[in-house]
């Protein structure tokens, strides 16, 4: 082989060319380490998935999850945060705050808030930070839709893949494709037939004694895996969680012809006059204490107007949003709109007074307590509307704050025991006692009933103390009820032990 010499290069360097061969020799060694790293990365998520399914089985199978569900959600988001290299830790805090109502008491609203916290927390971790209320809410809805779809697609891709990681690709692919449909539908049909056939159900119970797999438990594992997997694939879902940007509107917004400056002007004048009559009557009869017509009590007058006036205020707030663009260039119309909003706020305050008068006569119920809370919310929302008109804020500004106000109200209301408050009020005030209603309240009312009317609900078997047999079903409200009952029992025992002379 003829040697090619480069003139000007020293002979030692020409002959000593190991440094050129070294690049070629070290390259295969570097490549040899990549399959091990790739295999580890591929196994990372399946191993975490199996561990989370096992944790879900320990925490939630066979019980009504309360504390256990909140704990599982935090562990799941913690695993997602680790896989995302610690980016987006604020999502873990948001999910923890949204899980607190679930720890207080398991109910539909607390589960909804927990689920919302999980979705927002997952989006926060996937996108690495907070991107505004509207965008995060839309992204959470997209996560709710695309998350399970991604799990199904990943599972289908794993079964139909022609080059999987296992050493027997062809055989496993044929087995997966051949048994996926019959086993999946077979488990569903088996569960339905076991429910409809008592004899077969007895056979299944006997079979369970020999430690055969439980179909219901296997279905639980499959469902949990379907919900867990999207949180372990947040990086792959990041682009799908970005809401689509709407194209800009061409030209001005089109409004119905019925909405025009003349109609808005006449409506505001007419509505102000109507509301002024109602406000004057409320000031006369409710606030001034004037004598009502014969045969009508203040309680009847209050009951007739509490709920209709609340609906009227909501309708007035909606019209104010529609009318505001027409009043921006007319100071008189703007002043009329503000005066009408102030009258509407006063109308809601009158509704609150009506409700208070009615409760003083007939007692407190769940509906009346909820109505009082929402009247305060509506009055606050109307005050925000008045502030929006006064400072020329946009409708989006008002909508965002009203949504936050409503969600915050519902969130805080879940920490208030309605049943205990109702029982305490009705048993400590001069109101007609509806024994059946009080005795069919939840167990949270039991300490108040035992304290003020010990024998009232003895014949109602559903009025029982909450059970605390399993720590996974622990709830903070039930714990407070049990502690109150224990204190009452201790007090009664002392009274029996130490008689008075």
Averaged pLDDT, groups of 10, the chain, 501 residues long: 55 50 45 46 80 89 84 92 86 92 88 92 88 84 82 69 45 54 58 57 57 71 85 84 57 58 81 82 73 66 64 78 78 84 85 83 87 88 88 85 91 92 91 86 86 78 65 83 83 60 46
Say how far residue 501 (Cα) sits from the centre of its chain: 57
CA-atom Rg of the chain in angstroms: 34
**3-state class of 87 per DSSP?**
coil
Contact in structure between 52 and 76 (CB atoms under 8 Å): yes
- Number of Cβ atoms within 10 Å of the Cβ of 198: 9
Residue 154: partners with Cβ closer than 8 Å, 6 or more residues away: 229, 233
Report the greatest alpha carbon distance in the chain: 127
* CA pair distance 144, 122, nearest whole angstrom: 10
Among all chains, which residue has been given the structure tokens 């009557």? 281
**For residue 233, what pLDDT is reported?**
85
**For residue 168, what pLDDT is reported?**
42
**For residue 27, what pLDDT is reported?**
44
C-alpha dihedral sign at 56, 93, 81, 154: positive
Beta strands in 64-151 (DSSP E): none
End-to-end CA distance of the chain: 125
Closest CA to 358 of 311, 300, 289: 300
**For residue 130, what pLDDT is reported?**
86
Among all chains, which residue has been given the structure tokens 């946009």? 394
* Torsion angle defined by CA atoms of residues 379, 384, 385 and 386, in that order, rounded to the nearest 10 degrees: 90
Contact in structure between 107 and 414 (CB atoms under 8 Å): yes
* CA pair distance 414, 99, nearest whole angstrom: 11
Beta strands in 403-461 (DSSP E): none
* CA pair distance 72, 57, nearest whole angstrom: 10
**For residue 150, what pLDDT is reported?**
76
**For residue 37, what pLDDT is reported?**
45
**For residue 349, what pLDDT is reported?**
86
Task: Give the pair of three-digit tokens for residue 425.
Answer: 């009020």
pTM recorded for the entire structure: 0.70
- H and E: helices and strands count for the chain: 19, 0
């Amino acid at each position: 082989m003829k040697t090619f010499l480069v003139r000007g290069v020293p002979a030692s360097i020409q002959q000593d060319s190991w440094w050129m061969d070294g690049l070629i020799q070290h390259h295969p060694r570097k490549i040899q380490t990549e399959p091990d790293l790739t295999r580890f990365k591929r196994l990372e998520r399946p191993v975490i998935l199996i561990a989370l399914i096992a944790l879900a089985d320990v925490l939630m199978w066979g019980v009504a999850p309360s504390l256990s569900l909140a704990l599982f959600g935090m562990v799941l988001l913690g695993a997602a945060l680790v896989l995302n290299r610690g980016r987006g830790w604020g999502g873990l805090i948001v999910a923890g705050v949204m899980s607190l109502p679930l720890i207080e008491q398991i109910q539909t609203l607390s589960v909804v808030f927990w689920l919302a916290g999980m979705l927002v927390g997952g989006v926060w971790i996937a996108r690495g930070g907070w991107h505004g209320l509207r965008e995060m809410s839309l992204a959470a809805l997209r996560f709710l839709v695309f998350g399970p779809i991604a799990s199904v697609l990943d599972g289908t891709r794993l079964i139909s893949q022609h080059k999987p990681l296992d050493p027997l690709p062809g055989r496993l692919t044929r087995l997966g494709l051949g048994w996926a449909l019959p086993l999946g539908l077979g488990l569903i049909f088996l569960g339905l037939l076991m429910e409809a056939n008592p004899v077969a159900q007895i056979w299944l119970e006997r079979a369970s004694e020999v430690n055969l797999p439980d179909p219901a438990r296997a279905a639980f594992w499959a469902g949990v895996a379907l919900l867990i997997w999207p949180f372990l694939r947040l990086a792959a879902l990041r682009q799908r969680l970005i809401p689509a940007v709407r194209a800009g509107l061409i030209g001005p917004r089109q409004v119905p012809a019925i909405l025009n400056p003349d109609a808005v002007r006449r409506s505001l004048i007419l509505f102000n006059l109507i509301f002024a009559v109602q406000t004057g009557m409320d000031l006369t009869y409710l606030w001034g204490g004037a004598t009502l017509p014969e045969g009508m009590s203040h309680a009847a007058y209050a009951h007739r107007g509490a709920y209709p006036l609340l609906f009227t205020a909501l309708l007035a707030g909606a019209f104010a949003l529609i009318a505001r663009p027409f009043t921006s260039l007319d100071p008189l119309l703007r002043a009329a709109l503000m005066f009408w909003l102030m009258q509407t706020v006063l109308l809601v305050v009158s509704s609150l007074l009506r409700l208070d008068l009615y409760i003083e006569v007939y007692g407190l119920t769940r509906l009346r307590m909820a109505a009082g809370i929402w009247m305060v919310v509506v009055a606050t929302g109307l005050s925000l509307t008045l502030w929006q008109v006064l400072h020329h804020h946009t409708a989006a500004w008002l909508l965002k704050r009203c949504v936050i106000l409503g969600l915050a109200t519902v969130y805080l209301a879940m920490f208030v025991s309605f049943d205990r408050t109702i029982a305490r009020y009705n048993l400590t005030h001069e109101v007609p006692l509806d024994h059946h209603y009080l005795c069919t309240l939840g167990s949270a009312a039991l300490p108040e009933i035992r304290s003020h009317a010990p024998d009232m609900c003895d014949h109602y078997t559903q009025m029982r103390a909450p059970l605390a047999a399993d720590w996974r079903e622990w709830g903070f409200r039930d714990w407070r009820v049990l502690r109150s009952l224990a204190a009452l029992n201790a007090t009664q025992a002392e009274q029996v032990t130490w008689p008075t002379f």
